[in-house]
Amino acid sequence: MERLYDAEKLKFSTLSELMRDAVKAHGDRPLWGIKKDGAYHWMTYSEFGTLVRKFRTCLKSCGLQKGDRIAVIANNSIEFAMTAYAAYGLGCVLVPMYEVQKLQDWEWIFNDSKPRIAVVGNDSIREKLEGLELNFLEKFFIIRPQKERSLMEITEAEEVQTELDPAITGDDVSDIVYTSGTTGMPRGVVLTHRAVVENVKATVARFPLSCNDRTMAFLPWAHAFGKTVELHIFPSIGAAIGLVESNRTIAQNLLEVNPTILVSVPKIFNTIYDTIHLKMEEKPAARILFEHTKTIVQRGKEGKLSLFGRAQQKVLDKVVASKIRAAFGNSLRFSISGGASLSQEVASFFQNFGVRVYEGYGMTEHSPIVCVNNPEVQQIGSVGRPLPGVKIEILHDNDALDKSDERCGEIVVSSASIMKEYYNAPETTQEVIDSEGRLHTGDMGYLDEFGCLWITGRVKEQYKLENGKYVVPTALEEKINNSTMFNLSVVFGAGKPYNVVLLNPTKAFVDKFRADHHLENVSDRQLADNKELREKVSKELQAMCAEFRGYERPQKFAVVLDEFTIDNGLLTPALKIKRREVEKRFSDILEKLYKP
Protein backbone atom coordinates (compact mmCIF):
# COMPACT_ATOMS: atom_id res chain seq x y z
CA MET A 1 0.00 0.00 0.00
CA GLU A 2 1.30 3.46 -0.89
CA ARG A 3 2.52 5.40 2.13
CA LEU A 4 1.23 8.95 2.36
CA TYR A 5 3.76 10.20 4.89
CA ASP A 6 7.43 9.24 4.85
CA ALA A 7 8.48 8.35 8.39
CA GLU A 8 12.08 8.89 7.34
CA LYS A 9 11.35 12.63 7.34
CA LEU A 10 10.96 12.58 11.11
CA LYS A 11 14.39 13.71 12.31
CA PHE A 12 13.57 14.84 15.83
CA SER A 13 15.18 13.06 18.78
CA THR A 14 13.18 14.66 21.62
CA LEU A 15 9.53 15.52 22.12
CA SER A 16 10.34 19.23 22.27
CA GLU A 17 12.00 18.95 18.86
CA LEU A 18 8.93 17.08 17.59
CA MET A 19 6.70 20.09 18.15
CA ARG A 20 9.36 22.57 16.98
CA ASP A 21 9.68 20.70 13.67
CA ALA A 22 5.89 20.36 13.33
CA VAL A 23 5.36 24.10 13.79
CA LYS A 24 8.06 24.85 11.22
CA ALA A 25 6.68 22.40 8.64
CA HIS A 26 2.94 22.89 9.15
CA GLY A 27 2.65 26.40 10.60
CA ASP A 28 -0.57 27.54 8.89
CA ARG A 29 -2.31 24.19 9.12
CA PRO A 30 -4.96 23.52 11.81
CA LEU A 31 -3.75 21.63 14.88
CA TRP A 32 -6.32 21.81 17.71
CA GLY A 33 -10.08 22.05 17.23
CA ILE A 34 -12.22 23.30 20.12
CA LYS A 35 -16.04 23.40 20.20
CA LYS A 36 -17.22 26.96 20.98
CA ASP A 37 -20.60 28.57 20.42
CA GLY A 38 -21.95 25.49 18.66
CA ALA A 39 -19.08 25.00 16.18
CA TYR A 40 -15.46 23.83 16.05
CA HIS A 41 -12.80 26.55 15.88
CA TRP A 42 -9.22 25.64 14.94
CA MET A 43 -5.85 26.80 16.26
CA THR A 44 -2.90 26.55 13.86
CA TYR A 45 0.48 24.97 14.55
CA SER A 46 2.11 28.43 14.56
CA GLU A 47 -0.40 29.80 17.05
CA PHE A 48 0.15 26.84 19.33
CA GLY A 49 3.93 27.11 18.98
CA THR A 50 3.75 30.71 20.19
CA LEU A 51 1.71 29.69 23.24
CA VAL A 52 4.20 26.93 24.09
CA ARG A 53 7.16 29.34 23.97
CA LYS A 54 5.28 31.90 26.09
CA PHE A 55 4.27 29.40 28.76
CA ARG A 56 7.82 28.07 28.75
CA THR A 57 8.84 31.59 29.76
CA CYS A 58 6.32 31.52 32.61
CA LEU A 59 7.69 28.22 33.88
CA LYS A 60 11.26 29.41 33.58
CA SER A 61 10.41 32.51 35.62
CA CYS A 62 9.22 30.16 38.37
CA GLY A 63 12.80 28.93 38.65
CA LEU A 64 12.16 25.49 37.16
CA GLN A 65 15.22 23.56 36.11
CA LYS A 66 15.98 20.42 34.17
CA GLY A 67 14.54 17.37 35.92
CA ASP A 68 11.93 19.28 37.95
CA ARG A 69 8.46 17.72 37.85
CA ILE A 70 5.29 19.49 36.72
CA ALA A 71 2.00 17.85 37.68
CA VAL A 72 -1.06 18.14 35.44
CA ILE A 73 -4.51 17.20 36.71
CA ALA A 74 -6.78 18.07 33.82
CA ASN A 75 -8.95 16.74 31.06
CA ASN A 76 -7.68 17.03 27.49
CA SER A 77 -7.28 20.67 26.45
CA ILE A 78 -5.00 23.04 24.60
CA GLU A 79 -3.66 24.06 28.02
CA PHE A 80 -2.72 20.43 28.79
CA ALA A 81 -0.83 20.15 25.49
CA MET A 82 0.78 23.55 26.00
CA THR A 83 2.01 22.55 29.46
CA ALA A 84 3.47 19.31 28.16
CA TYR A 85 5.50 20.87 25.37
CA ALA A 86 6.56 23.86 27.46
CA ALA A 87 7.85 21.44 30.11
CA TYR A 88 9.66 19.23 27.62
CA GLY A 89 11.53 22.22 26.18
CA LEU A 90 12.96 23.10 29.61
CA GLY A 91 13.93 19.52 30.35
CA CYS A 92 11.19 19.27 32.99
CA VAL A 93 9.22 16.10 33.60
CA LEU A 94 5.46 15.88 33.05
CA VAL A 95 3.41 13.98 35.66
CA PRO A 96 -0.14 13.65 34.23
CA MET A 97 -3.19 12.66 36.29
CA TYR A 98 -6.95 12.34 35.79
CA GLU A 99 -9.51 14.85 37.05
CA VAL A 100 -11.67 11.89 38.10
CA GLN A 101 -8.90 10.26 40.13
CA LYS A 102 -9.30 9.68 43.86
CA LEU A 103 -7.71 12.15 46.29
CA GLN A 104 -5.68 9.34 47.86
CA ASP A 105 -4.16 8.57 44.45
CA TRP A 106 -3.26 12.23 43.93
CA GLU A 107 -1.69 12.35 47.37
CA TRP A 108 0.36 9.24 46.68
CA ILE A 109 1.55 10.48 43.28
CA PHE A 110 2.43 13.97 44.55
CA ASN A 111 4.40 12.63 47.50
CA ASP A 112 6.18 10.14 45.26
CA SER A 113 7.10 12.52 42.41
CA LYS A 114 7.27 15.82 44.37
CA PRO A 115 6.34 18.29 41.61
CA ARG A 116 7.16 21.98 42.13
CA ILE A 117 4.33 23.23 39.89
CA ALA A 118 0.78 21.95 39.41
CA VAL A 119 -1.49 22.75 36.47
CA VAL A 120 -5.05 21.82 37.43
CA GLY A 121 -8.39 21.94 35.69
CA ASN A 122 -10.39 23.94 38.23
CA ASP A 123 -10.53 25.57 41.67
CA SER A 124 -12.03 22.47 43.26
CA ILE A 125 -8.96 20.38 42.43
CA ARG A 126 -6.64 23.06 43.80
CA GLU A 127 -8.65 23.30 47.04
CA LYS A 128 -8.41 19.54 47.54
CA LEU A 129 -4.65 19.60 46.99
CA GLU A 130 -4.24 22.56 49.33
CA GLY A 131 -5.81 20.40 52.04
CA LEU A 132 -2.88 17.99 51.78
CA GLU A 133 0.60 18.46 53.24
CA LEU A 134 2.53 19.09 50.03
CA ASN A 135 5.31 21.40 51.21
CA PHE A 136 7.30 20.91 48.01
CA LEU A 137 4.50 22.32 45.80
CA GLU A 138 5.24 25.97 45.05
CA LYS A 139 2.63 27.22 42.59
CA PHE A 140 -0.70 26.44 40.89
CA PHE A 141 -1.90 27.37 37.41
CA ILE A 142 -5.67 26.97 36.95
CA ILE A 143 -7.17 26.20 33.55
CA ARG A 144 -10.77 27.11 34.40
CA PRO A 145 -10.72 29.36 37.51
CA GLN A 146 -13.81 31.15 38.75
CA LYS A 147 -12.18 34.45 39.74
CA GLU A 148 -8.43 34.73 39.10
CA ARG A 149 -6.66 34.82 35.75
CA SER A 150 -6.73 31.54 33.85
CA LEU A 151 -3.64 29.73 32.61
CA MET A 152 -4.41 30.83 29.06
CA GLU A 153 -4.80 34.49 30.07
CA ILE A 154 -1.48 34.42 31.93
CA THR A 155 0.23 32.80 28.95
CA GLU A 156 -1.21 35.12 26.30
CA ALA A 157 -0.13 38.18 28.32
CA GLU A 158 3.50 37.00 28.38
CA GLU A 159 5.73 39.02 26.04
CA VAL A 160 8.89 36.89 26.05
CA GLN A 161 9.05 33.64 24.07
CA THR A 162 11.58 31.09 25.35
CA GLU A 163 12.93 28.59 22.83
CA LEU A 164 13.62 25.00 23.80
CA ASP A 165 16.82 24.15 25.62
CA PRO A 166 19.24 22.63 23.06
CA ALA A 167 20.90 20.61 25.82
CA ILE A 168 17.86 18.32 26.15
CA THR A 169 18.68 14.85 24.79
CA GLY A 170 16.83 11.63 24.11
CA ASP A 171 18.18 10.16 27.34
CA ASP A 172 16.45 12.80 29.46
CA VAL A 173 13.21 11.89 31.23
CA SER A 174 10.09 13.33 29.61
CA ASP A 175 7.25 11.82 31.67
CA ILE A 176 6.39 9.88 34.78
CA VAL A 177 3.08 8.22 33.94
CA TYR A 178 1.44 6.50 36.89
CA THR A 179 -0.36 3.26 36.15
CA SER A 180 -3.97 2.91 37.26
CA GLY A 181 -3.23 0.49 40.06
CA THR A 182 -5.78 -2.36 39.72
CA THR A 183 -4.23 -4.17 42.70
CA GLY A 184 -2.62 -1.39 44.75
CA MET A 185 -1.29 2.16 44.62
CA PRO A 186 -0.18 3.52 41.22
CA ARG A 187 3.39 2.96 40.05
CA GLY A 188 5.33 5.71 38.30
CA VAL A 189 6.55 4.62 34.87
CA VAL A 190 9.58 6.71 33.93
CA LEU A 191 9.72 7.39 30.19
CA THR A 192 12.56 9.11 28.35
CA HIS A 193 12.26 11.33 25.28
CA ARG A 194 13.94 8.59 23.22
CA ALA A 195 11.52 5.89 24.37
CA VAL A 196 8.45 7.90 23.34
CA VAL A 197 10.03 9.31 20.15
CA GLU A 198 10.98 5.81 18.95
CA ASN A 199 7.40 4.70 19.57
CA VAL A 200 6.08 7.66 17.60
CA LYS A 201 8.38 7.02 14.62
CA ALA A 202 7.71 3.27 14.56
CA THR A 203 3.95 3.79 14.58
CA VAL A 204 4.09 6.40 11.80
CA ALA A 205 6.17 3.92 9.77
CA ARG A 206 3.46 1.28 10.16
CA PHE A 207 0.47 3.27 8.77
CA PRO A 208 -0.45 5.27 5.66
CA LEU A 209 -0.72 8.73 7.21
CA SER A 210 -0.96 12.26 5.86
CA CYS A 211 -0.86 15.85 7.10
CA ASN A 212 -4.38 16.03 5.65
CA ASP A 213 -5.61 13.50 8.20
CA ARG A 214 -7.92 14.56 10.99
CA THR A 215 -8.80 12.79 14.20
CA MET A 216 -11.00 13.32 17.22
CA ALA A 217 -9.27 13.16 20.60
CA PHE A 218 -11.18 11.64 23.49
CA LEU A 219 -8.63 9.22 24.94
CA PRO A 220 -7.35 10.74 28.22
CA TRP A 221 -3.84 12.19 27.93
CA ALA A 222 -3.18 11.13 31.51
CA HIS A 223 -3.01 7.62 29.99
CA ALA A 224 0.05 6.63 27.94
CA PHE A 225 -2.03 5.45 24.96
CA GLY A 226 -3.88 8.72 24.49
CA LYS A 227 -0.82 10.84 25.27
CA THR A 228 1.47 9.17 22.73
CA VAL A 229 -1.09 8.89 19.93
CA GLU A 230 -2.99 12.17 20.19
CA LEU A 231 -0.45 14.45 21.84
CA HIS A 232 2.59 13.25 19.85
CA ILE A 233 1.93 11.01 16.83
CA PHE A 234 -0.70 13.11 15.06
CA PRO A 235 1.15 16.43 15.59
CA SER A 236 4.37 14.82 14.31
CA ILE A 237 2.81 14.43 10.84
CA GLY A 238 0.92 17.75 10.79
CA ALA A 239 -2.57 16.27 11.28
CA ALA A 240 -5.55 18.11 12.79
CA ILE A 241 -7.01 17.05 16.15
CA GLY A 242 -10.52 17.96 17.28
CA LEU A 243 -11.05 17.70 21.03
CA VAL A 244 -14.24 16.03 22.21
CA GLU A 245 -16.47 18.18 24.43
CA SER A 246 -17.19 15.35 26.86
CA ASN A 247 -17.76 11.60 26.91
CA ARG A 248 -21.49 12.31 26.58
CA THR A 249 -21.05 14.11 23.25
CA ILE A 250 -18.77 11.67 21.43
CA ALA A 251 -21.43 10.61 18.91
CA GLN A 252 -22.32 14.21 18.00
CA ASN A 253 -18.70 15.40 17.94
CA LEU A 254 -17.75 12.57 15.56
CA LEU A 255 -20.16 14.02 13.01
CA GLU A 256 -18.78 17.54 13.55
CA VAL A 257 -15.07 16.73 13.46
CA ASN A 258 -15.58 14.14 10.69
CA PRO A 259 -12.31 12.28 11.32
CA THR A 260 -10.32 10.43 8.69
CA ILE A 261 -8.62 8.33 11.40
CA LEU A 262 -10.03 7.44 14.78
CA VAL A 263 -8.02 6.00 17.67
CA SER A 264 -10.29 4.51 20.26
CA VAL A 265 -10.79 1.93 22.97
CA PRO A 266 -13.13 -1.08 22.63
CA LYS A 267 -15.81 0.60 24.75
CA ILE A 268 -16.69 3.00 21.90
CA PHE A 269 -17.01 0.21 19.33
CA ASN A 270 -18.92 -1.96 21.80
CA THR A 271 -21.34 0.88 22.56
CA ILE A 272 -22.10 1.51 18.88
CA TYR A 273 -22.37 -2.25 18.28
CA ASP A 274 -24.80 -2.64 21.21
CA THR A 275 -26.88 0.37 20.13
CA ILE A 276 -27.29 -0.97 16.61
CA HIS A 277 -28.34 -4.42 17.79
CA LEU A 278 -30.75 -3.08 20.40
CA LYS A 279 -32.43 -0.95 17.73
CA MET A 280 -32.70 -4.00 15.48
CA GLU A 281 -34.42 -5.97 18.26
CA GLU A 282 -37.10 -3.27 18.50
CA LYS A 283 -37.81 -3.26 14.75
CA PRO A 284 -38.40 -6.76 13.30
CA ALA A 285 -38.49 -5.56 9.67
CA ALA A 286 -35.26 -3.64 10.06
CA ARG A 287 -33.67 -6.67 11.77
CA ILE A 288 -34.52 -8.91 8.81
CA LEU A 289 -32.98 -6.40 6.38
CA PHE A 290 -29.95 -6.03 8.64
CA GLU A 291 -29.36 -9.78 8.89
CA HIS A 292 -29.78 -10.17 5.13
CA THR A 293 -27.18 -7.47 4.58
CA LYS A 294 -24.71 -9.29 6.83
CA THR A 295 -25.30 -12.51 4.89
CA ILE A 296 -24.77 -10.81 1.53
CA VAL A 297 -21.61 -9.08 2.76
CA GLN A 298 -20.17 -12.36 4.05
CA ARG A 299 -20.96 -14.19 0.82
CA GLY A 300 -19.33 -11.34 -1.08
CA LYS A 301 -16.15 -11.72 0.95
CA GLU A 302 -16.14 -15.43 0.09
CA GLY A 303 -16.61 -14.68 -3.62
CA LYS A 304 -19.94 -16.51 -3.76
CA LEU A 305 -22.21 -13.76 -5.10
CA SER A 306 -24.06 -14.03 -8.38
CA LEU A 307 -24.62 -11.03 -10.65
CA PHE A 308 -27.95 -10.43 -8.88
CA GLY A 309 -26.22 -10.84 -5.50
CA ARG A 310 -23.66 -8.17 -6.39
CA ALA A 311 -26.46 -5.83 -7.39
CA GLN A 312 -28.14 -6.51 -4.02
CA GLN A 313 -24.88 -5.79 -2.24
CA LYS A 314 -24.62 -2.33 -3.80
CA VAL A 315 -28.19 -1.46 -2.83
CA LEU A 316 -27.86 -2.84 0.71
CA ASP A 317 -24.56 -1.05 1.18
CA LYS A 318 -26.28 2.24 0.43
CA VAL A 319 -29.41 1.50 2.48
CA VAL A 320 -27.90 -0.26 5.52
CA ALA A 321 -24.09 -0.27 5.68
CA SER A 322 -23.67 3.40 4.87
CA LYS A 323 -25.74 4.33 7.92
CA ILE A 324 -23.39 2.36 10.16
CA ARG A 325 -20.35 4.06 8.62
CA ALA A 326 -22.05 7.44 9.03
CA ALA A 327 -21.92 7.03 12.82
CA PHE A 328 -18.19 7.76 12.53
CA GLY A 329 -18.60 10.71 10.16
CA ASN A 330 -18.35 10.47 6.40
CA SER A 331 -14.58 10.47 5.90
CA LEU A 332 -13.17 7.67 8.08
CA ARG A 333 -10.30 5.81 6.38
CA PHE A 334 -9.57 3.48 9.28
CA SER A 335 -9.65 3.19 13.05
CA ILE A 336 -7.24 1.82 15.63
CA SER A 337 -8.39 0.15 18.84
CA GLY A 338 -6.19 -0.29 21.90
CA GLY A 339 -6.14 -0.10 25.67
CA ALA A 340 -8.06 -3.37 26.09
CA SER A 341 -9.09 -6.39 24.03
CA LEU A 342 -11.59 -5.94 21.20
CA SER A 343 -13.63 -9.05 20.48
CA GLN A 344 -13.38 -10.77 17.11
CA GLU A 345 -17.15 -10.56 16.81
CA VAL A 346 -17.25 -6.78 17.15
CA ALA A 347 -14.17 -6.22 14.95
CA SER A 348 -15.56 -8.47 12.20
CA PHE A 349 -18.93 -6.72 12.38
CA PHE A 350 -17.44 -3.31 11.62
CA GLN A 351 -15.06 -4.71 9.01
CA ASN A 352 -18.01 -6.25 7.15
CA PHE A 353 -19.78 -2.90 7.01
CA GLY A 354 -16.76 -0.99 5.72
CA VAL A 355 -15.31 0.36 8.98
CA ARG A 356 -11.73 -0.89 9.12
CA VAL A 357 -10.62 -1.42 12.72
CA TYR A 358 -6.99 -2.33 13.43
CA GLU A 359 -6.50 -3.69 16.93
CA GLY A 360 -3.24 -3.11 18.75
CA TYR A 361 -1.54 -3.91 22.04
CA GLY A 362 0.71 -1.98 24.35
CA MET A 363 1.49 -1.02 27.91
CA THR A 364 2.60 2.13 29.69
CA GLU A 365 6.01 0.54 30.33
CA HIS A 366 6.55 0.47 26.54
CA SER A 367 5.61 4.08 25.75
CA PRO A 368 3.08 2.31 25.04
CA ILE A 369 2.53 0.65 21.62
CA VAL A 370 4.03 -2.82 21.07
CA CYS A 371 2.00 -4.37 18.24
CA VAL A 372 -0.76 -3.31 15.89
CA ASN A 373 -2.62 -4.66 12.88
CA ASN A 374 -2.44 -2.46 9.79
CA PRO A 375 -3.67 -2.34 6.17
CA GLU A 376 -0.82 -4.57 4.98
CA VAL A 377 -1.25 -7.41 7.50
CA GLN A 378 -4.38 -7.91 9.56
CA GLN A 379 -5.43 -10.97 11.55
CA ILE A 380 -8.75 -10.16 13.23
CA GLY A 381 -8.59 -11.34 16.82
CA SER A 382 -4.84 -10.81 17.03
CA VAL A 383 -3.13 -7.56 18.02
CA GLY A 384 -0.98 -7.56 14.90
CA ARG A 385 2.73 -7.63 14.28
CA PRO A 386 5.36 -5.91 16.44
CA LEU A 387 6.24 -2.36 15.44
CA PRO A 388 9.50 -1.86 13.53
CA GLY A 389 12.39 -2.21 15.97
CA VAL A 390 10.33 -4.23 18.46
CA LYS A 391 11.19 -7.87 19.16
CA ILE A 392 8.80 -10.25 20.89
CA GLU A 393 9.72 -13.53 22.56
CA ILE A 394 7.35 -16.05 24.10
CA LEU A 395 8.83 -17.57 27.27
CA HIS A 396 7.53 -20.86 28.62
CA ASP A 397 9.62 -21.21 31.79
CA ASN A 398 7.15 -19.52 34.15
CA ASP A 399 5.81 -22.11 36.61
CA ALA A 400 2.54 -20.17 36.90
CA LEU A 401 1.68 -20.84 33.26
CA ASP A 402 -0.75 -23.44 31.98
CA LYS A 403 1.40 -25.89 30.02
CA SER A 404 -1.54 -27.48 28.17
CA ASP A 405 -1.16 -25.07 25.22
CA GLU A 406 2.42 -25.34 23.97
CA ARG A 407 2.11 -22.16 21.90
CA CYS A 408 1.39 -19.90 24.88
CA GLY A 409 3.88 -18.30 27.20
CA GLU A 410 4.73 -14.97 28.75
CA ILE A 411 5.19 -12.12 26.28
CA VAL A 412 8.63 -10.53 26.61
CA VAL A 413 9.58 -7.41 24.66
CA SER A 414 12.89 -5.92 23.55
CA SER A 415 13.04 -2.40 22.04
CA ALA A 416 14.18 1.20 22.49
CA SER A 417 10.72 2.17 23.80
CA ILE A 418 10.99 0.33 27.12
CA MET A 419 10.68 2.53 30.21
CA LYS A 420 13.75 3.59 32.13
CA GLU A 421 12.39 2.35 35.47
CA TYR A 422 9.59 2.50 37.99
CA TYR A 423 10.11 5.73 39.91
CA ASN A 424 11.57 5.17 43.40
CA ALA A 425 11.03 1.42 43.05
CA PRO A 426 14.28 -0.37 42.00
CA GLU A 427 13.15 -3.80 43.23
CA THR A 428 9.87 -3.62 41.32
CA THR A 429 11.80 -2.49 38.23
CA GLN A 430 14.03 -5.57 38.44
CA GLU A 431 10.94 -7.76 38.52
CA VAL A 432 9.88 -6.64 35.03
CA ILE A 433 13.13 -5.63 33.29
CA ASP A 434 15.64 -8.48 33.24
CA SER A 435 19.44 -8.40 33.00
CA GLU A 436 19.19 -8.37 29.18
CA GLY A 437 17.01 -5.25 29.24
CA ARG A 438 13.89 -7.16 28.18
CA LEU A 439 10.44 -6.14 29.43
CA HIS A 440 8.42 -8.98 30.98
CA THR A 441 4.86 -7.87 30.26
CA GLY A 442 2.98 -10.26 32.55
CA ASP A 443 0.68 -11.01 29.61
CA MET A 444 0.28 -14.44 28.04
CA GLY A 445 0.05 -15.13 24.34
CA TYR A 446 1.59 -16.62 21.22
CA LEU A 447 2.83 -15.62 17.76
CA ASP A 448 1.12 -17.12 14.70
CA GLU A 449 2.61 -18.03 11.32
CA PHE A 450 2.12 -14.45 10.09
CA GLY A 451 4.10 -13.01 12.98
CA CYS A 452 0.95 -11.64 14.63
CA LEU A 453 0.57 -11.70 18.40
CA TRP A 454 -2.45 -13.23 20.11
CA ILE A 455 -3.16 -12.30 23.75
CA THR A 456 -4.66 -15.04 25.91
CA GLY A 457 -4.68 -13.39 29.35
CA ARG A 458 -2.66 -12.09 32.29
CA VAL A 459 -0.22 -14.37 34.08
CA LYS A 460 -1.26 -13.02 37.50
CA GLU A 461 -4.99 -13.21 36.77
CA GLN A 462 -4.80 -16.84 35.61
CA TYR A 463 -5.76 -19.28 38.36
CA LYS A 464 -6.36 -22.95 39.07
CA LEU A 465 -9.67 -24.48 40.01
CA GLU A 466 -9.83 -27.01 42.83
CA ASN A 467 -9.31 -29.79 40.27
CA GLY A 468 -6.03 -28.23 39.04
CA LYS A 469 -7.45 -26.95 35.75
CA TYR A 470 -6.23 -23.51 34.64
CA VAL A 471 -8.70 -20.70 33.92
CA VAL A 472 -8.06 -17.32 32.31
CA PRO A 473 -10.99 -15.21 33.58
CA THR A 474 -10.41 -12.30 31.20
CA ALA A 475 -11.06 -14.51 28.17
CA LEU A 476 -14.44 -15.49 29.60
CA GLU A 477 -15.27 -11.93 30.60
CA GLU A 478 -14.45 -10.50 27.20
CA LYS A 479 -16.75 -13.00 25.52
CA ILE A 480 -19.59 -12.41 27.99
CA ASN A 481 -19.22 -8.64 27.63
CA ASN A 482 -19.80 -8.94 23.86
CA SER A 483 -23.47 -9.48 24.66
CA THR A 484 -25.71 -6.44 24.30
CA MET A 485 -27.28 -7.54 27.58
CA PHE A 486 -24.21 -7.08 29.79
CA ASN A 487 -22.26 -3.99 30.72
CA LEU A 488 -19.52 -6.04 32.34
CA SER A 489 -18.82 -9.33 34.07
CA VAL A 490 -16.33 -10.54 36.67
CA VAL A 491 -15.43 -14.24 36.86
CA PHE A 492 -14.11 -15.91 40.04
CA GLY A 493 -13.06 -19.45 40.92
CA ALA A 494 -9.48 -19.60 42.23
CA GLY A 495 -9.16 -22.73 44.37
CA LYS A 496 -12.89 -23.41 44.07
CA PRO A 497 -14.72 -26.41 42.57
CA TYR A 498 -16.17 -24.33 39.71
CA ASN A 499 -16.34 -20.82 38.27
CA VAL A 500 -18.99 -18.26 39.18
CA VAL A 501 -19.64 -14.85 37.65
CA LEU A 502 -21.05 -11.50 38.72
CA LEU A 503 -23.09 -10.03 35.87
CA ASN A 504 -23.83 -6.32 35.54
CA PRO A 505 -26.58 -5.80 32.92
CA THR A 506 -26.67 -2.69 30.74
CA LYS A 507 -28.96 0.16 31.70
CA ALA A 508 -30.81 -0.20 28.38
CA PHE A 509 -31.58 -3.87 29.08
CA VAL A 510 -32.68 -3.19 32.67
CA ASP A 511 -34.88 -0.23 31.70
CA LYS A 512 -36.55 -2.21 28.92
CA PHE A 513 -37.15 -5.21 31.20
CA ARG A 514 -38.72 -2.97 33.86
CA ALA A 515 -41.00 -1.32 31.30
CA ASP A 516 -42.00 -4.57 29.59
CA HIS A 517 -42.90 -6.21 32.93
CA HIS A 518 -44.29 -3.10 34.68
CA LEU A 519 -41.61 -3.24 37.38
CA GLU A 520 -40.70 0.45 37.50
CA ASN A 521 -41.26 0.63 41.27
CA VAL A 522 -39.43 -2.58 42.16
CA SER A 523 -36.11 -2.11 43.99
CA ASP A 524 -32.82 -3.14 42.38
CA ARG A 525 -32.38 -5.90 44.97
CA GLN A 526 -35.80 -7.40 44.12
CA LEU A 527 -35.21 -7.04 40.40
CA ALA A 528 -31.85 -8.83 40.60
CA ASP A 529 -33.68 -11.87 42.00
CA ASN A 530 -36.60 -11.67 39.54
CA LYS A 531 -37.20 -15.14 38.11
CA GLU A 532 -37.90 -14.03 34.53
CA LEU A 533 -34.91 -11.69 34.48
CA ARG A 534 -32.64 -14.46 35.76
CA GLU A 535 -33.98 -16.84 33.10
CA LYS A 536 -33.14 -14.33 30.38
CA VAL A 537 -29.70 -13.71 31.84
CA SER A 538 -29.01 -17.43 32.24
CA LYS A 539 -29.93 -18.18 28.63
CA GLU A 540 -27.69 -15.38 27.36
CA LEU A 541 -24.80 -16.44 29.60
CA GLN A 542 -24.97 -20.02 28.31
CA ALA A 543 -24.96 -18.79 24.71
CA MET A 544 -21.94 -16.53 25.26
CA CYS A 545 -19.92 -19.27 27.00
CA ALA A 546 -20.85 -22.15 24.68
CA GLU A 547 -17.44 -22.26 22.98
CA PHE A 548 -15.53 -22.67 26.26
CA ARG A 549 -14.64 -25.96 27.95
CA GLY A 550 -17.11 -27.31 30.48
CA TYR A 551 -14.90 -26.60 33.49
CA GLU A 552 -14.34 -23.00 32.30
CA ARG A 553 -18.03 -22.08 32.04
CA PRO A 554 -19.48 -20.37 35.11
CA GLN A 555 -21.80 -22.80 36.91
CA LYS A 556 -23.60 -20.11 38.89
CA PHE A 557 -24.14 -16.38 38.53
CA ALA A 558 -25.45 -13.38 40.40
CA VAL A 559 -27.03 -10.31 38.84
CA VAL A 560 -25.49 -7.15 40.28
CA LEU A 561 -27.27 -3.89 39.53
CA ASP A 562 -24.80 -1.67 41.42
CA GLU A 563 -22.92 0.84 39.30
CA PHE A 564 -19.26 0.13 38.62
CA THR A 565 -17.55 3.52 38.68
CA ILE A 566 -14.25 5.21 39.40
CA ASP A 567 -15.82 7.07 42.32
CA ASN A 568 -16.94 3.93 44.15
CA GLY A 569 -13.54 2.31 43.67
CA LEU A 570 -14.60 -0.57 41.41
CA LEU A 571 -12.95 0.85 38.26
CA THR A 572 -9.57 2.45 37.67
CA PRO A 573 -9.41 5.85 35.89
CA ALA A 574 -8.63 3.84 32.75
CA LEU A 575 -11.97 2.02 33.33
CA LYS A 576 -10.39 -1.34 34.16
CA ILE A 577 -11.95 -3.61 36.77
CA LYS A 578 -10.38 -3.54 40.22
CA ARG A 579 -10.82 -7.25 40.77
CA ARG A 580 -9.80 -7.24 44.44
CA GLU A 581 -12.19 -4.41 45.26
CA VAL A 582 -15.05 -6.18 43.46
CA GLU A 583 -14.30 -9.36 45.40
CA LYS A 584 -14.36 -7.44 48.71
CA ARG A 585 -17.52 -5.49 47.88
CA PHE A 586 -19.52 -8.56 46.85
CA SER A 587 -17.92 -11.19 49.13
CA ASP A 588 -21.30 -12.19 50.65
CA ILE A 589 -22.83 -12.79 47.23
CA LEU A 590 -19.80 -14.79 46.08
CA GLU A 591 -19.91 -16.90 49.22
CA LYS A 592 -23.57 -17.77 48.62
CA LEU A 593 -22.80 -18.90 45.06
CA TYR A 594 -20.67 -21.71 46.47
CA LYS A 595 -23.26 -22.93 48.94
CA PRO A 596 -25.34 -26.02 47.97
Note whether 258 and 330 are within 8 A (CB): yes
Same domain, 478 and 494: yes
Print burial letters for 356-390: b (CB count within 10 Å at least 16), e (below 16).
Answer: bbbbbbbbbbbbbbbbbbbeeebbbbbbbbbbeeb
Note whether 493 and 499 are within 8 A (CB): yes
Residue 591 has pLDDT above 50, yes or no: yes
Same domain, 431 and 522: no
Q: In this predicted model, what pLDDT tens digit does every residue of 182-238 receive, in sequence order?
A: 556 789 999 999 999 999 999 999 999 999 999 999 899 999 999 999 999 999 999
Same domain, 450 and 475: no
Domain termination site, one of 424, 439, 458: 458
Same domain, 554 and 435: no
Within-domain flag for 255: no
Within-domain flag for 259: no
pTM of the model: 0.88
CATH of the domain at 576: 3.30.300.30
Same domain, 489 and 450: no
Could you tell me which residues come within 8 angstroms of residue 244 by beta carbon, excluding any fewer than 6 positions away? Answer: 76, 216, 217, 218, 250, 253
Same domain, 279 and 243: no
Residue 417 has pLDDT above 90, yes or no: yes
Same domain, 486 and 449: no
Note whether 408 and 384 are within 8 A (CB): no
Measured on CA atoms in the order 72, 73, 79, 80, is the torsion positive or negative? positive
Q: How confident is the model at residue 254 (pLDDT cuts 50, 70, 90)?
A: very high
Alpha-carbon gap, residue 17 to 197, rounded angstroms: 10
Percent of the chain with pLDDT over 70: 97
Largest Cα–Cα distance in the chain? 76
Whole-angstrom CA distances from 497 to 423, 492, 550, 588 are: 41, 11, 12, 18
Between 339 and 112, the higher pLDDT residue = 112
Tell me the mean pLDDT in the region 139-148.
Answer: 96
Rg of the chain on CA atoms, in Å? 25
- Residue 523, domain extent: 463-593
Domain termination site, one of 218, 247, 276: 247
Nearest to 493 by CA among 473, 479, 475, 477: 473
Residue 130 has pLDDT above 70, yes or no: yes
Alpha-carbon gap, residue 6 to 256, rounded angstroms: 29
Same domain, 239 and 322: no
Query: Across the chain, what does the average pLDDT equal?
Result: 91
- Overall size of the chain counted in residues: 596
CATH of the domain at 21: 3.40.50.12780
